[in-house]
Structure 1
Amino acid sequence: MKIDLLLKNAQFFNAYLKKFVHSDLAILNGKFFYIGTEETSELEATATIELQGKYVIPGLIDSHMHIESSMAAPRTFTQALVKNGVTTIVAEPHEIANVFGLEGIKALMAAAQDCPVDVRIAIPSSVPSTNSMLETSGSEINCSELAEMLQMDGVICLGEVMNYVDVLNQPDSKSNQFIRYVKETKGHFPIEGHCPRLLGLPLARFLFAGVTSDHTEQSLQGIKERIANGMFVEIQEKSLKREIIDYLVTNELYEHFALVTDDTMPDVLMKRGHLNYLVKKAVELGLKSELAIYAATFTPARRMGLVDRGSIAPGKVADFVILEDLQTLAIHQTFKNGREVFNSEKKQAAEEVDVSFPTHFYHSVHLPLLTADCFNIKTNQKDGRVTCRVLYVSEGTTFTKEKIVSLPVRNYLIDWENSSYCLAVILERHGKDGNRGYALVGGDALKAGAVATTYAHDHHNLLVLGRNKQDMLFAANQVITKQGGYYVAHKGKIIAKTDLPIAGILSDQPLAVLSAEVNEVKNALAQLGYRHDNIIMSISTLSLTVSPELKLTDKGLVNVNQQRLVPLVIGKTMDASPSLS
């Protein structure tokens, strides 16, 4: 019998036995055909690879991630994935949906066609992440868009339900409407969750509503309660802690979790890899190699109903990776549908500038150039002092705290430049209402200079953070002129930048160029005193209204737990500079 490819003398990972087995692997029509050694003489292979005992594992599957978090266009991003052994992703495109709605999702899906990775789509359930009373996004995903997406090829789950406050407290909220509609029309669909720190009765209520997973940063207690209550846990790097791994191993809970990346910055992708890095880190923390691979192949496939992949067996899609060795998980070759898509010994084709999106996606920042008075905070008090809320940043977490401080007022303006705090301003950039929101930011934030970006989760308005007006103005106007980006200014000069012209959140450059630029931005921010293990994500989530505790949008300061706006100045009325028009 004729077959397409025969792999001889492989040590392949058998997901059903959770161990490596010596065997030959036969591939026909893009699928595994026969696994064994005794009857391969009956097969006539078009091509044969002698592996001499090399390890073969299923293609890695990332079941919870966001392409836009890499700042790379889909084709650029997926070319990097296959180098790291990833062959399937479940992408939740709520970032581009917050700018261009369903049109943005369709454009991203079109850009991902003919990529070397299968891109499956999770329907964004929280666009905007909260509601129009708390933030202004460029577009919304409502029930009509949900119904349309449920009929689209490649859509396999409801993406992370982020507004857990509304799920628990507003029975008729959009989040609950989405959950009910999916349960009624697609009962088999996974419903993804986002419920940081929920425990006890609130966690039970979240599960009872229909959400069945969580990917947020976990504590040991959180892991225990989630798994005990039947919730599937997607473990990203922040949750890879020794005590959590020890608990999973001791209790043999391998069926109840998967490793996921969630967000991967481009410089991190270039330097250390993608899901393969998390597999290695899990092993370093005490998870056996076989079980770490299991959590990056079989369990995510089963969670997402991808029954045709995630294992090496007859009839399964021939997505697989040949490893140089098991300890380093070094990728030698990656195959998609039985065809080689990466070989470490072959020179890779040069990447090109991305032009795959519609023209107007490269012109999405609708703001006039700013003036310095945009960074004034006015009060109805001529002089003296006022009591203010401060959004407090802490190194090592994207969660923020609320602090109460006293600041001087001079000639009806809060004198923030002569304080120890930064000013943050968010300006609505989608061309809707010209709102501006103001916050004081303290803790491990900037000590000098300024940064401006349209990469501000999830509404992606223009976020400007700085210690003086002139640097803030310079950085902000550069971002406006370039139609999106991340610009760092100090003493009147741009010291680092990366342009993000696609919807204001994606680069059109090859990954090597983007990675180098983002690394320069991170270094510049660190030199200006910002302390965090993921500086860009820390800054970009200052505006994320579903991440505790106090955040900022174009509407103002948001108490996340209460999902309501709160004033910057406590006990006094406060006026910001006039809205743009």
Structure 2
Amino acid sequence: MEQTSLKTWAECAARLVAVAAGREAADTVIRGGIWVNVHTRETLEGHDLAIADGRFAYCGPDASHCIGPDTEIVEAQGRYMIPGLCDGHMHIESGMLTPAEFAAAVIPHGTTTMFTDPHEIANVLGLPGVRLMHDEGLIQPISIFTQMPSCAPSAPGLETTGYEIGPDDVAEAMSWPGIIGLGEMMNFPGVVNGSQQMLAEIAQTQKAGKTVGGHYASPDLGPNFHAYAAGGPADDHEGTCEADAIARVRQGMRSMMRLGSAWYDVETQITAVTKKGLDPRGFILCTDDCHSGTLVNDGHMNRVVRHAIACGCDPVIALQMATINTATHFGLERELGSIAPGRRADVILTSDLETLPIEWVMAQGKVVAEGGTITTECPHLDWPTDARQTVRLGKALDAADFEIHAPIQAEQLTANVIGVVENQAPTKALKREVQVELGLISAQGGIAQIALVERHRATGDVVNALVEGFGYTGEMAMASTVAHDSHHMIVIGTSREMMAKAANRLGEVGGGVTVWKDDAELALVELPIAGLMSDSPAKDVAAKADQMVAAMQACGCTLNNAYMQHSLLALVVIPELRISDLGLVDVTKFEMTELFEDTE
């Protein structure tokens, strides 16, 4: 699979020099703009940019010597010329879209580079799935770099995935042309405890001269945090407060501050720069997880930069955190992330640095969006049949599969309940008194049932537990085959009958999200590729996602972006309490725990 037609610097260096010197004409000249220089943190009025072979050749006060009869002239008209935006850590699958459709959705928002970790598809399809994501990313009109997933399963012994990733897989992937490093090392207890497999994956990555992504999802900044830092991760995006950000940059890690569909971790951490005055070079902005509705309705990295500015960050510093800082972190400072000679000609024209309207976008020397509309094609792969038939339930489910039986005869029991925390990835481990009726525990008093349905090996297994915080009322159910990271099926409901219907519906359509209320389906988002993605246009998927959100609200849910909370309840590497195909997981101890207490 070949990348787009962009030439390497070596292939076009002679022409870049000739254009800059005025001996040859540029392909394009952007004239009369304000050059936002992220190397020096300056805004330079009345400057021009000359572009040849998809790269900047000349960046200076007057490019008239670079203009020939066939040179295209773009009048900046005094607007700011800023580098294309880079997302330093994200998962394409979280957008419910294929790489091509995700690119088409974010290009009008000014994103021209993404560093993606396809560990969602790795859990379902293994290394072949990662290769499909990698290959489709390479042929897009923007730069999509792939991080080889590090943890499938994310926590060995606590979940079962469709496939497992090991050091040999990592070593193989490091030779692929679009691999930029190792995806987030979620198994932080493994690193802290010296797991030979985790350290071998990190070693293979460092041997290849590539970047190791981090994921330290713990508030503990004592010896365990220091042990993790010693294990090699070069960045971390799991910080939620100023102390987290400071701790990471002091250890030589980049602090990646995220604003996704449900993660609001910029405001609480950016004060390390805006108030504590730390060097902003150690900080990067990213999204982590954005679903299609956010992309279509609110934006992508432009949304994150605007938010950082609204939190008190200087606009040019915020832009550095979304451009040159990211490029430097991945060893690509000479390739992208700034407007400077030799770099990929990724540039945005905007009339205001604070509100950041994305008025015109160029990627790799070609105009890709104008006035909020994409002007280029995003090529698709032909996704194979085995990537589209991944929901294997083994049998038709019924209400009995979702029964929670009391382990002893009692009218009331103490249960370990998963507590949802709005706008954050961590959950709370709650202890609640629940009533027993006819030997069964049902949804009650703000507590809903949650089930994890195995869908990779057709075992027919269902694990049942309890969850609090969604606010569901009446008789309802919601099911999703997006269930980070093992991506079985998560079903939440107040009616066992409807939980069964919702689960069977996803088996019928090959994956996605469905919401039921009063025995009727209110919304369905089909995700036929690995049960995670659709190759339909983003606006179509977003419209269905909007219906899903409205359906959740009709069922009583008032949480912001509650779908993301739903899909993360099986993520057994983020505290405190999660569900897996093996049972309830106490993520503070990384061990299995019981649903009920004191039943012996």
Sort the TM-score into its range (normalised by shorter chain): over 0.9
Match of 2:301 among 257, 263, 275: 275
Aligned to 1:470: 497
Q: Is the 8 A contact 2:217 2:238 kept in 1?
A: yes
Give, in whole Å, the separation in 1 of the partners of 2:444 and 2:107: 50
| Contact 1:429–1:461 (Cα < 8 Å) also in 2 | yes
3-state SS, counterpart of residue 569 of structure 1: coil
1:101 aligned onto 2:126: yes
Deviation per CA, 1:240-275, whole angstroms, max 9, x where unpaired?
Answer: 555633330341421101110111111111111000
Deviates more, 1:419-428 or 1:53-62: 419-428
Of 130, 133, 136, the match for 2:155: 130
Q: How does 1:317-466 map to 2 (within 5 A)?
A: 317-344=344-371, 356-367=382-393, 368-382=395-409, 384-411=411-438, 413-417=439-443, 420-431=446-457, 433-448=459-474, 449-466=476-493
Runs of 4+ in 1 over 6 A off after TM superposition: 349-352
Q: How many residue pairs get matched?
A: 568
Partner residue in 2 for 1:246: 271
Q: TM-score, normalised by structure 1?
A: 0.93
The equivalent residue for 1:578 is none
Residue correspondence of structure 1 range 87-166 to structure 2 within 5 A: 87-131=112-156, 133-166=157-190
> Separation in 1 of the partners of 2:372 and 2:186?
43
Which whole-Å CA distance do the structure 1 matches of 2:445 and 2:265 have between them? 38
The one of 546, 552, 556 aligned to 1:529: 556
Counterparts of 1:190-209 in structure 2, within 5 Å, are: 190-209=212-231
Gaps of 5+ in 2: 1-23
The answer to whether the Cα contact below 8 Å between 1:351 and 1:510 also exists between their aligned partners in 2 is: no
The alignment-based identity, stated in percent, is 31
User: Contact 1:129–1:162 at 8 Å: present in 2 too?
Assistant: yes
Shift of 1:424: 0.9
Determine the structure 2 residue equivalent to 1:540: 567
Native 8 Å contact 1:165 1:561 kept in 2: no
Distance across 2 between alignment mates of 1:315 and 1:337? 11
Structure 2 Cα separation of the partners of residues 118 and 419 of structure 1? 49
Hey, what's the Cα distance between the residues in 2 that align with 1:81 and 1:560? Answer: 34
SS in 1 for 2:87: strand
| Contact 2:48 2:62 (C-alpha < 8 Å) held by counterparts | no
**Pair 157,356 (structure 1): closer, same or farther in 2 beyond 3 Å:** same
Q: Could you tell me which residue of structure 1 aligns to residue 339 of structure 2?
A: 312
Distance 2:443 2:480 in 1: 20
Q: Which amino acid aligns with 2:176?
A: M
Following superposition, the deviation at residue 174 of structure 1 comes to 2.8
1:508 Cα deviation from its structure 2 partner: 2.7
Residue type at the aligned position of 1:167:
V
TM-score by length of 2: 0.90
358 and 265 in structure 1: CA distance in 2 versus 1, 3 angstrom threshold: same
Output the CA distance in 2 between the equivalents of 1:369 and 1:243: 46
Distance in 2, Cα, partners of 1:118 & 1:46: 25
1:228 aligned residue (238, 250, 255): 250
Q: CA deviation at 1:494?
A: 0.5
Match of 2:40 in 1: 17
Do 1:425 and 1:436's aligned partners in 2 also have CA atoms closer than 8 Å? yes
Q: Secondary structure at the match of 2:152?
A: coil
Per mean C-alpha deviation after superposition, the further-off stretch among 311-320 and 222-231 is 222-231
Please state whether the residue corresponding to 2:571 is helix, strand or coil.
coil
Distance 2:502 2:236 in 1: 37
Q: Deviations over 1:446-503 (max 9, x none)?
A: 2331101101111110111101112212211111111101111111001112111110
Structure 1 unpaired stretches of 5+? 574-581
Residue from 271, 285, 293 that aligns with 1:259:
285
- TM-aligned CA deviation for residue 328 of structure 1: 2.2
How far apart are the structure 1 equivalents of 2:203 and 2:76? 50
For residues 72 and 347 of structure 1, the distance between their equivalents in structure 2, rounded to whole angstroms, comes to 17
RMSD: 2.2
**What residue is the counterpart of 1:480 in the other structure?**
507
Q: Matches of 2:492 and 2:117 in 1, distance apart?
A: 28
Cα distance per residue 1:400-430 (max 9 Å; x no partner)? 122223334445x323145652111111100
Mapped contact 2:108–2:373 kept (Cα < 8 A): no
Instruction: Confirm or deny: 8 A CA contact 1:79 1:116 kept in the other structure.
Output: no
Q: Residue 5 of structure 1 aligns with which residue?
A: 28
| Per-residue deviation, 1:530 | 2.4
Give the aligned residue type for 2:345.
A
Contact 2:50 2:66 in 1 (8 A): no
Could you tell which deviates more after superposition, 438-447 or 329-338?
438-447
